[in-house]
A and B are shown apart, each in its own frame.
Chain A
Amino acid sequence: MKKSFVTIFTTLSLFLFLTNFASAQETTIFGIHRNIELKNESQTKEVKIEMNEKECRFNLRINSVVRGGEVTIEIYNPNGKKQGNFSVGCEIQSDHAQETVNGQISKFIDNPELGDWKILIIPKNAEGKVTIEFTQDVIKTSSN
């Protein structure tokens, strides 16, 4: 009886310790969600993302669906260094035959450069949609 009590007590203690350890890491999420519709668009758009928290993870996902024309997406860090790009384009554009092209880029960077990150959307007679989803997950680790 005493032995099983000790076993249960130890298991419970271990469980509580592990639960406490896990809760020492809390995550706060700041999110940005943008939908940009492109209707025969040829003007470059710039979207700024503010990274202002230290000890965080930069999560950026840009998705573009193009049904006509072309779209180029470029991502720059606060120092102006290109961190990623892609372009999607359609050749056929008519009422009868329509093609769709998808492009998606995901960037996950731990402890990135702080400041304004820049996303350039460079369309050329583009028909479609660009979706930008951004979160910065702040990881706070308690000392106790």
Chain B
Amino acid sequence: MEYFNSRLLFISICSLLISSQLPARSQISGELSLDTTWSRVIYLSMIPGFDQLNAMSNQMIIDRAAIDENGNFSFTTNYFPYEYYLYRLHISKKGDPPASLIIGGNDENHIFLIANKQSDITIRNRDSESIFGQVEIQNSPQSQLLYEIDKMVLFVDTANFNGSPLKRELMENALDEKLRQIADTCTFPLTGIYAIYKSNFEAHKATNSEFYVSFIKKWKQEKSTYFDEFGKKIPVKTDRNLSYVSLIFGLIIGIFLMYFIQKRVVEKSVNPIRELTVQERNIYTMLQKGSSNKEISDELNISLSTVKSHVNSIFSKLKVKSRREILNL
């Protein structure tokens, strides 16, 4: 009873701790420091697939919010799906249309987040050359990891490799490998796919196909459009396919085995004479000519009983019962 009470107490404390950690509000909010070249409106877009990471249209924008004089903004997320999706926050330059995407350089105007209905994400930018150059993302480790991945890619893209294209290529390959490691060890499935997409995976599809297949298998419980899209690019061999392959392989092996066994049997049946000794072969040759035991005895200078013994042995080895059968061989 005492054990039961202490366990109940433990569960109650855990529940309290967990409930205190749960997000109280469903929102994406933040504080952005902007200069006067930017409009004070922030846009939220839903990214339906990783192929649309760098796509922009008005239809992708699902919400907009004003940025107040202190740089604060807020979006509610209570209408988001329960499943995690990829979202993009962006700001437009003054005079540009709302649907403006700037990739790279100091004017890069967007950041990606992973969120769902219950997300309560806060972002803050710090002093940097670009708006999202130094950003702190709270309550969303998967979004923070997306941001870190983008910084890694940008670093290798713009780093000076002292005039050596080979060194750049090696660094790019090392980055791709590092991104695959992140995808492999990451506990967030969407962040994992994001790392793979950033690792130039289309170029490595043939060389690392096993890795991609194992990644899909690892997250086979994930039912999302992102995984469907990725799975189509990396064809996974199903068990059914595997069983067909095994069946075909087994049949081929079986056919080969039967062929060799039959060949050996035929060889054996065609050449039983090889099993005869030299003396027996001599006697066999004379038997085929129709010689009697006496004639063989005289010709080979051996006793009659020896001839009979050899003849019996020949009959046995050739599996015949009479001299007539030997004549027909």
Q: A103-B56, A114-B165 are in contact. Are A108 and B159 (CB under 8 A)?
A: no
Q: Contact: B105 with A106, CB < 8 Å?
A: yes
A13 at the interface (CB under 8 A from B): no
Question: How far is the CB of A58 from the nearest CB of chain B, in Å?
Answer: 10
Taking a contact as CB atoms under 8 Å apart, the answer to whether B99 and A101 are in contact is yes
B101 interface residue (CB < 8 Å to A):
yes
Partner of B101, one of A99, A102, A110: A102
Given contacts A87-B55, A109-B157, A113-B168, contact A102 B103 (CB under 8 A): no
Taking a contact as CB atoms under 8 Å apart, the answer to whether A105 and B103 are in contact is: yes
Looking at the assembled complex, report how far the CB atom of B173 sits from the nearest CB atom of chain A, in whole angstroms. 11
A101–B97 touching, CB < 8 Å? yes
Q: Please give the residue numbers on chain B whose beta carbons come within 8 Å of chain A beta carbons, in ascending order.
A: 52, 54-59, 92, 96-97, 99-105, 107-108, 157-165, 168, 200, 202-203
A interface list, Cβ under 8 A from B: 54-55, 61, 81-92, 99-114
In contact, A100 and B161 (Cβ under 8 angstroms): no
Residue of A nearest to B52 (CB): A87
B-side contacts of A90, CB under 8 Å: 57-58
Given A84-B54, A101-B58, A104-B100, 5 more pairs with CB closer than 8 A: A103-B56, A105-B54, A105-B103, A110-B158, A110-B159
User: Contacts A86-B101, A103-B101 given: A111-B160 contact, CB under 8 Å?
Assistant: yes
Q: Given A99-B97, A111-B168, decide whether A84 and B103 contact each other with a Cβ distance below 8 A.
A: yes
In the complex, are the beta carbons of A100 and B103 less than 8 A apart?
Answer: no
Interface centre among A61, A103, A114 (most CB of B within 10 A): A103
**Residues on A with beta carbons closer than 8 Å to the beta carbon of B92:** 102
